Structure 1
Amino acid sequence: MQPLQAGQAAPAFCLPTADGGTVSLADFHGRKLVIFFYPKADTEACTREAIDFSGSKAAFAAVGAELLGVSHDPIRKQQKFVSKHGLSTTIASDETLGMLNAYGVWGEKSMYGRTYLGIERTTMLIDTKGVIAQAWSKVRVANHVAEVLEAARALPA
Protein backbone atom coordinates (compact mmCIF):
# COMPACT_ATOMS: atom_id res chain seq x y z
CA MET A 1 0.00 0.00 0.00
CA GLN A 2 1.52 3.28 -1.12
CA PRO A 3 -0.62 6.39 -0.46
CA LEU A 4 -0.56 9.21 -2.97
CA GLN A 5 2.01 11.89 -2.26
CA ALA A 6 2.22 15.67 -2.50
CA GLY A 7 2.23 16.90 -6.08
CA GLN A 8 -0.01 14.13 -7.44
CA ALA A 9 -3.48 14.89 -8.79
CA ALA A 10 -6.30 13.79 -6.52
CA PRO A 11 -8.30 11.04 -8.25
CA ALA A 12 -11.98 11.71 -8.91
CA PHE A 13 -14.51 9.90 -6.75
CA CYS A 14 -18.22 9.79 -6.01
CA LEU A 15 -19.37 8.20 -2.75
CA PRO A 16 -22.56 7.86 -0.70
CA THR A 17 -22.62 9.91 2.50
CA ALA A 18 -24.08 9.24 5.93
CA ASP A 19 -26.61 12.04 5.42
CA GLY A 20 -28.16 10.21 2.46
CA GLY A 21 -26.49 12.20 -0.31
CA THR A 22 -23.38 11.74 -2.37
CA VAL A 23 -20.06 13.53 -2.42
CA SER A 24 -17.52 13.86 -5.23
CA LEU A 25 -14.18 15.53 -5.74
CA ALA A 26 -15.88 17.91 -8.19
CA ASP A 27 -18.04 19.24 -5.32
CA PHE A 28 -14.92 20.89 -3.88
CA HIS A 29 -13.60 22.49 -7.08
CA GLY A 30 -11.81 25.73 -6.22
CA ARG A 31 -11.70 24.96 -2.49
CA LYS A 32 -9.21 23.23 -0.24
CA LEU A 33 -10.22 19.76 0.92
CA VAL A 34 -9.00 17.65 3.82
CA ILE A 35 -9.80 13.95 3.43
CA PHE A 36 -9.19 11.80 6.48
CA PHE A 37 -9.27 8.06 5.85
CA TYR A 38 -10.01 6.04 8.97
CA PRO A 39 -10.00 2.25 9.44
CA LYS A 40 -13.28 1.58 11.26
CA ALA A 41 -16.20 3.68 12.46
CA ASP A 42 -16.92 3.79 16.18
CA THR A 43 -13.57 2.44 17.33
CA GLU A 44 -11.58 4.44 19.86
CA ALA A 45 -8.98 6.16 17.67
CA CYS A 46 -11.32 6.63 14.70
CA THR A 47 -13.97 8.16 16.93
CA ARG A 48 -11.46 10.52 18.52
CA GLU A 49 -10.17 11.58 15.08
CA ALA A 50 -13.67 12.20 13.68
CA ILE A 51 -14.72 14.16 16.79
CA ASP A 52 -11.53 16.24 16.63
CA PHE A 53 -12.07 17.10 12.96
CA SER A 54 -15.77 17.89 13.59
CA GLY A 55 -14.84 20.13 16.50
CA SER A 56 -12.48 22.07 14.25
CA LYS A 57 -14.85 22.38 11.28
CA ALA A 58 -15.31 26.14 11.77
CA ALA A 59 -11.54 26.70 12.01
CA PHE A 60 -11.03 24.80 8.73
CA ALA A 61 -13.87 26.77 7.09
CA ALA A 62 -12.17 29.99 8.19
CA VAL A 63 -9.11 29.03 6.10
CA GLY A 64 -11.25 27.92 3.15
CA ALA A 65 -10.98 24.17 3.74
CA GLU A 66 -13.71 21.53 3.70
CA LEU A 67 -13.55 18.22 5.58
CA LEU A 68 -14.41 14.70 4.44
CA GLY A 69 -14.04 11.46 6.39
CA VAL A 70 -13.96 8.16 4.48
CA SER A 71 -13.90 4.52 5.53
CA HIS A 72 -14.92 1.14 4.14
CA ASP A 73 -17.79 0.76 6.62
CA PRO A 74 -21.31 0.25 5.21
CA ILE A 75 -23.39 3.41 4.99
CA ARG A 76 -25.75 2.27 7.79
CA LYS A 77 -22.79 1.94 10.17
CA GLN A 78 -21.57 5.39 9.09
CA GLN A 79 -25.02 6.84 9.80
CA LYS A 80 -25.01 5.37 13.32
CA PHE A 81 -21.45 6.65 13.84
CA VAL A 82 -22.42 10.21 12.85
CA SER A 83 -25.59 10.15 14.95
CA LYS A 84 -24.02 8.60 18.05
CA HIS A 85 -21.15 11.12 18.18
CA GLY A 86 -22.87 14.21 16.73
CA LEU A 87 -20.32 14.51 13.93
CA SER A 88 -20.60 17.64 11.78
CA THR A 89 -18.13 16.64 9.08
CA THR A 90 -19.25 14.85 5.94
CA ILE A 91 -18.70 11.11 6.37
CA ALA A 92 -18.66 8.86 3.31
CA SER A 93 -18.54 5.13 2.66
CA ASP A 94 -16.40 3.36 0.06
CA GLU A 95 -17.59 -0.23 0.21
CA THR A 96 -16.42 -0.83 -3.40
CA LEU A 97 -12.84 0.19 -2.50
CA GLY A 98 -12.56 2.28 -5.68
CA MET A 99 -11.53 5.51 -3.97
CA LEU A 100 -9.53 3.79 -1.23
CA ASN A 101 -7.45 1.96 -3.84
CA ALA A 102 -7.08 5.05 -6.04
CA TYR A 103 -5.71 7.03 -3.10
CA GLY A 104 -3.46 4.13 -2.05
CA VAL A 105 -4.80 3.77 1.48
CA TRP A 106 -6.28 0.23 1.21
CA GLY A 107 -3.94 -2.71 1.56
CA GLU A 108 -2.40 -5.41 3.66
CA LYS A 109 -1.91 -4.67 7.34
CA SER A 110 -0.87 -6.78 10.28
CA MET A 111 -1.60 -6.72 13.97
CA TYR A 112 -0.61 -9.24 16.63
CA GLY A 113 0.83 -11.49 13.94
CA ARG A 114 -2.39 -11.56 11.93
CA THR A 115 -2.45 -10.21 8.36
CA TYR A 116 -5.60 -8.63 6.94
CA LEU A 117 -6.79 -6.00 4.45
CA GLY A 118 -7.74 -2.57 5.69
CA ILE A 119 -7.26 1.19 5.61
CA GLU A 120 -4.00 2.79 6.69
CA ARG A 121 -5.03 5.86 8.72
CA THR A 122 -4.08 8.63 6.30
CA THR A 123 -4.97 12.30 5.79
CA MET A 124 -4.61 14.24 2.55
CA LEU A 125 -4.80 17.99 2.04
CA ILE A 126 -5.89 18.84 -1.50
CA ASP A 127 -5.37 22.32 -2.90
CA THR A 128 -7.83 24.45 -4.86
CA LYS A 129 -6.59 22.97 -8.15
CA GLY A 130 -7.20 19.35 -7.11
CA VAL A 131 -3.57 18.50 -6.37
CA ILE A 132 -2.44 16.83 -3.17
CA ALA A 133 -0.56 19.51 -1.24
CA GLN A 134 0.37 17.31 1.71
CA ALA A 135 -0.21 13.72 2.84
CA TRP A 136 0.13 12.19 6.29
CA SER A 137 0.45 8.40 6.51
CA LYS A 138 0.24 6.16 9.56
CA VAL A 139 -1.42 9.04 11.40
CA ARG A 140 -1.29 9.27 15.18
CA VAL A 141 -4.52 10.94 16.31
CA ALA A 142 -3.12 13.12 19.11
CA ASN A 143 -2.49 16.69 17.84
CA HIS A 144 -3.07 15.59 14.24
CA VAL A 145 -5.98 17.94 13.53
CA ALA A 146 -3.96 20.97 14.68
CA GLU A 147 -1.11 19.97 12.35
CA VAL A 148 -3.48 19.58 9.38
CA LEU A 149 -5.18 22.91 10.18
CA GLU A 150 -1.80 24.67 10.22
CA ALA A 151 -0.94 23.17 6.82
CA ALA A 152 -4.35 24.21 5.42
CA ARG A 153 -3.84 27.71 6.77
CA ALA A 154 -0.44 27.96 5.05
CA LEU A 155 -1.83 26.76 1.71
CA PRO A 156 -2.72 29.64 -0.66
CA ALA A 157 -6.42 30.17 -1.35
Structure 2
Amino acid sequence: MGQRLATGDTAPDFTLQDSTGQDVSLSDFRGRHVVVYFYPAASTPGCTKEACDFRDSLASLKTAGYEVVGISPDALPKLVKFAEAESLNFPLLSDADHAVAEAYGAWGEKKNYGKTYEGLIRSTVVVDPEGKVALAQYNVRATGHVAKLHRDLGLVQPAGK
Protein backbone atom coordinates (compact mmCIF):
# COMPACT_ATOMS: atom_id res chain seq x y z
CA MET A 1 0.00 0.00 0.00
CA GLY A 2 1.37 3.39 -0.98
CA GLN A 3 1.84 6.43 1.18
CA ARG A 4 -0.94 9.00 0.88
CA LEU A 5 0.07 12.21 -0.82
CA ALA A 6 -0.15 15.63 0.80
CA THR A 7 -0.23 19.18 -0.48
CA GLY A 8 3.20 20.17 -1.77
CA ASP A 9 4.37 16.62 -2.57
CA THR A 10 5.63 15.94 -6.08
CA ALA A 11 2.92 13.96 -7.87
CA PRO A 12 4.29 10.63 -9.11
CA ASP A 13 4.53 10.64 -12.90
CA PHE A 14 2.77 7.87 -14.79
CA THR A 15 2.01 6.69 -18.29
CA LEU A 16 -1.11 4.58 -18.80
CA GLN A 17 -3.27 3.67 -21.78
CA ASP A 18 -6.62 5.39 -22.17
CA SER A 19 -9.86 3.98 -23.54
CA THR A 20 -8.80 4.97 -27.08
CA GLY A 21 -5.52 3.04 -26.81
CA GLN A 22 -3.38 6.19 -26.49
CA ASP A 23 -0.67 6.58 -23.86
CA VAL A 24 -1.43 9.38 -21.41
CA SER A 25 1.24 10.66 -19.01
CA LEU A 26 0.94 13.05 -16.10
CA SER A 27 3.75 15.04 -17.72
CA ASP A 28 1.43 15.65 -20.73
CA PHE A 29 -0.45 18.08 -18.46
CA ARG A 30 2.59 20.09 -17.31
CA GLY A 31 1.66 23.77 -17.29
CA ARG A 32 -2.00 23.00 -16.46
CA HIS A 33 -3.92 21.85 -13.41
CA VAL A 34 -5.14 18.27 -13.61
CA VAL A 35 -7.69 16.44 -11.48
CA VAL A 36 -6.58 12.80 -11.20
CA TYR A 37 -9.41 10.78 -9.74
CA PHE A 38 -9.31 7.11 -8.83
CA TYR A 39 -12.49 5.03 -8.93
CA PRO A 40 -12.95 1.33 -8.10
CA ALA A 41 -14.85 -0.08 -11.10
CA ALA A 42 -16.33 1.18 -14.35
CA SER A 43 -20.08 0.85 -14.88
CA THR A 44 -20.95 0.40 -11.21
CA PRO A 45 -23.59 2.77 -9.78
CA GLY A 46 -21.30 4.97 -7.66
CA CYS A 47 -18.54 5.16 -10.26
CA THR A 48 -21.05 5.96 -13.00
CA LYS A 49 -22.53 8.77 -10.90
CA GLU A 50 -19.09 10.23 -10.20
CA ALA A 51 -17.93 9.94 -13.83
CA CYS A 52 -21.13 11.58 -15.10
CA ASP A 53 -20.69 14.40 -12.56
CA PHE A 54 -17.18 15.00 -13.93
CA ARG A 55 -18.54 14.81 -17.49
CA ASP A 56 -21.26 17.34 -16.73
CA SER A 57 -18.81 19.65 -14.93
CA LEU A 58 -15.95 19.39 -17.41
CA ALA A 59 -16.70 22.66 -19.20
CA SER A 60 -16.60 24.65 -15.95
CA LEU A 61 -13.44 22.83 -14.81
CA LYS A 62 -11.72 23.49 -18.16
CA THR A 63 -12.78 27.15 -18.06
CA ALA A 64 -11.07 27.37 -14.67
CA GLY A 65 -7.95 25.72 -16.13
CA TYR A 66 -8.42 22.13 -14.93
CA GLU A 67 -8.17 18.91 -16.95
CA VAL A 68 -9.68 15.64 -15.67
CA VAL A 69 -8.32 12.09 -15.84
CA GLY A 70 -10.06 9.04 -14.35
CA ILE A 71 -8.01 5.98 -13.32
CA SER A 72 -9.29 2.53 -12.37
CA PRO A 73 -7.91 -1.01 -12.28
CA ASP A 74 -10.30 -1.99 -15.10
CA ALA A 75 -9.02 -3.51 -18.35
CA LEU A 76 -9.20 -1.35 -21.47
CA PRO A 77 -12.25 -3.08 -23.05
CA LYS A 78 -14.32 -2.29 -19.95
CA LEU A 79 -13.18 1.35 -20.03
CA VAL A 80 -14.09 1.64 -23.72
CA LYS A 81 -17.59 0.34 -23.00
CA PHE A 82 -17.98 2.66 -19.98
CA ALA A 83 -16.75 5.75 -21.86
CA GLU A 84 -19.09 5.05 -24.78
CA ALA A 85 -22.13 4.14 -22.65
CA GLU A 86 -21.85 7.34 -20.58
CA SER A 87 -20.50 9.68 -23.31
CA LEU A 88 -17.52 10.51 -21.14
CA ASN A 89 -15.48 13.44 -22.44
CA PHE A 90 -12.20 12.97 -20.57
CA PRO A 91 -9.55 10.21 -20.54
CA LEU A 92 -10.17 7.00 -18.60
CA LEU A 93 -6.90 5.22 -17.86
CA SER A 94 -6.32 1.54 -17.13
CA ASP A 95 -4.13 0.83 -14.09
CA ALA A 96 -4.62 -2.96 -14.17
CA ASP A 97 -1.67 -3.71 -11.87
CA HIS A 98 -2.71 -0.77 -9.60
CA ALA A 99 0.89 0.52 -9.51
CA VAL A 100 -0.23 4.12 -10.08
CA ALA A 101 -2.98 3.83 -7.46
CA GLU A 102 -0.37 2.53 -5.01
CA ALA A 103 2.01 5.39 -5.84
CA TYR A 104 -0.81 7.85 -5.12
CA GLY A 105 -1.89 6.14 -1.89
CA ALA A 106 -5.21 5.16 -3.48
CA TRP A 107 -4.77 1.41 -3.04
CA GLY A 108 -5.10 -0.17 0.36
CA GLU A 109 -7.20 -1.87 2.97
CA LYS A 110 -10.96 -1.60 2.55
CA LYS A 111 -13.86 -2.93 4.57
CA ASN A 112 -17.13 -3.91 2.98
CA TYR A 113 -19.93 -5.95 4.52
CA GLY A 114 -17.66 -7.01 7.36
CA LYS A 115 -14.87 -8.26 5.10
CA THR A 116 -11.42 -6.66 4.93
CA TYR A 117 -9.54 -6.73 1.63
CA GLU A 118 -7.11 -4.77 -0.55
CA GLY A 119 -8.66 -2.55 -3.18
CA LEU A 120 -8.92 0.84 -4.77
CA ILE A 121 -9.83 3.68 -2.40
CA ARG A 122 -11.96 6.32 -4.13
CA SER A 123 -9.58 9.29 -4.15
CA THR A 124 -8.88 12.55 -5.95
CA VAL A 125 -5.54 14.31 -6.32
CA VAL A 126 -5.31 17.74 -7.92
CA VAL A 127 -1.90 18.37 -9.47
CA ASP A 128 -0.72 21.92 -10.12
CA PRO A 129 1.02 23.12 -13.32
CA GLU A 130 4.47 22.36 -11.84
CA GLY A 131 3.56 18.75 -10.99
CA LYS A 132 3.02 19.30 -7.26
CA VAL A 133 0.00 18.10 -5.29
CA ALA A 134 -2.38 21.02 -4.75
CA LEU A 135 -5.10 18.94 -3.06
CA ALA A 136 -5.36 15.28 -2.03
CA GLN A 137 -8.63 13.72 -0.89
CA TYR A 138 -9.09 10.08 0.12
CA ASN A 139 -12.19 7.98 0.84
CA VAL A 140 -14.34 10.47 -1.02
CA ARG A 141 -18.03 9.83 -1.65
CA ALA A 142 -19.11 9.19 -5.23
CA THR A 143 -22.24 11.30 -4.91
CA GLY A 144 -21.58 15.00 -4.42
CA HIS A 145 -17.82 14.68 -4.71
CA VAL A 146 -17.48 16.86 -7.82
CA ALA A 147 -19.59 19.62 -6.23
CA LYS A 148 -17.40 19.44 -3.10
CA LEU A 149 -14.28 19.56 -5.27
CA HIS A 150 -15.59 22.74 -6.92
CA ARG A 151 -16.07 24.28 -3.47
CA ASP A 152 -12.66 23.14 -2.22
CA LEU A 153 -10.97 24.63 -5.29
CA GLY A 154 -12.96 27.87 -5.00
CA LEU A 155 -14.66 27.34 -8.37
CA VAL A 156 -18.12 28.40 -9.47
CA GLN A 157 -20.55 25.49 -9.61
CA PRO A 158 -22.11 24.70 -12.97
CA ALA A 159 -25.81 25.54 -13.17
CA GLY A 160 -28.07 22.81 -11.82
CA LYS A 161 -25.41 21.22 -9.60
Whole-angstrom CA distance in 1 between matches of 2:33 and 2:150:
11
Who is 2:139 aligned against?
A: 138
8 A Cα contact 2:46 2:143, kept in partner? no
Whole-angstrom CA distance in 1 between matches of 2:114 and 2:144:
29
Whole-angstrom CA distance in 1 between matches of 2:13 and 2:93:
14
Deviations, residues 40-60 of structure 1 (Å, cap 9, x unaligned): 111111000000001111111
Unaligned runs of 5+ in 2: 156-161
Who is 1:78 aligned against?
A: 79
8 A Cα contact 1:32 1:152, kept in partner? no
Aligned residues: 154
- Structure 2 length as normaliser, TM-score? 0.90
Task: Please state how far the C-alpha of 1:143 moved relative to its aligned partner.
Answer: 2.4
Whole-angstrom CA distance in 2 between matches of 1:146 and 1:29:
25
Question: Are 1:112 and 2:113 an aligned pair?
Answer: yes
Whole-angstrom CA distance in 2 between matches of 1:100 and 1:125:
14
Whole-angstrom CA distance in 2 between matches of 1:31 and 1:143:
24
Task: Please state how far the C-alpha of 1:39 moved relative to its aligned partner.
Answer: 0.7
8 A Cα contact 1:18 1:79, kept in partner? yes
Most deviating of 141-150 and 68-77 = 141-150
Deviations, residues 47-106 of structure 1 (Å, cap 9, x unaligned): 000000011111111011100000001111111111111111110010122211110111
Which residue identity is paired with 1:12? D
Unaligned runs of 5+ in 1: none
Percent of aligned positions with the same letter in both sequences? Answer: 42
CA RMSD of aligned residues (A): 1.4
Which residue identity is paired with 1:133? A
Deviations, residues 104-144 of structure 1 (Å, cap 9, x unaligned): 11112121122222110001111111111111111112322
Which residue identity is paired with 2:10? A
